[in-house]
Amino acid sequence: MCAMKILITGSNGLLGSNLIRYYTAKNENKVFATSLSPSYTPLSNFTEGDLLDAVFVDRLISDIRPDIIINTVSLVNIEKCEEDPKLASLLTVKTAENIARSARQIGTRLIYISTDHLFEGTKSFYSEEDEPEPVNVYGTLKYKAESRTRDIYSDAVIVRTNFYGWSHSLHPPTFGEWVFDSLKHHRPIKLFTDYYFTPIEVTYLAEALDNVAKSNFVGIINIAGSQRCSKYEFGIALADVFQFDPGLISKGKIEATSFKVRRQKDLSLSTKKFKQIFNQKLPDLREGLQRFYENRGLLIQEK
> Has residue 184 been placed in a domain?
no
Residues 6+ apart with CB under 8 A from 143: 114, 118, 132, 134
Q: Residue 115 maps to which CATH number? A: 3.40.50.720
> Has residue 245 been placed in a domain?
no
> Has residue 281 been placed in a domain?
yes
Q: What are residue 219's DSSP bridge partners?
A: 157
Residues 6+ apart with CB under 8 A from 138: 75, 76, 78, 81, 82, 88, 115, 117, 261
pLDDT tens, the chain, 303 aa long: 467 899 999 999 999 999 999 999 887 789 999 999 988 877 889 999 999 999 999 999 999 999 999 999 999 999 999 999 999 999 999 999 999 999 999 999 999 999 999 999 999 999 999 999 999 999 999 999 999 999 999 999 999 999 999 988 788 899 999 999 999 999 999 999 999 999 999 999 999 999 999 999 999 999 999 999 999 999 999 999 999 999 999 999 998 777 778 889 999 999 999 999 999 889 999 999 999 999 987 644 444
- Write out the H or E segment, with its range, that includes residue 221: strand 219-222
Is 220:146 a contact under the CB 8 Å cutoff?
yes
> Has residue 241 been placed in a domain?
no
> Has residue 221 been placed in a domain?
yes
Residue 3's Cβ-side half-sphere holds a number of Cα atoms within 13 Å equal to 14
Coil, strand or helix at 8: strand
> Has residue 67 been placed in a domain?
yes
Q: What are the E-state strand segments in 22-79?
A: 29-35, 46-48, 68-71
Long-range contacts formed by 172-178: CB under 8 A, 24+ apart: 174/14, 175/231, 176/234, 176/238, 176/292
> Has residue 257 been placed in a domain?
no
Count of domains forming the chain:
1
Identify the pLDDT of residue 301.
47
Identify the pLDDT of residue 255.
80
Identify the pLDDT of residue 303.
42
Q: At 9, phi and psi to the nearest 5? A: -95, 150
Is 224:282 a contact under the CB 8 Å cutoff?
yes
Query: Cα–Cα distances in Å, from 248 out to 163, 187, 202, 241, 292?
Result: 23, 7, 25, 15, 20
> Has residue 298 been placed in a domain?
no
Domain housing 21: 4-172+199-225+269-287
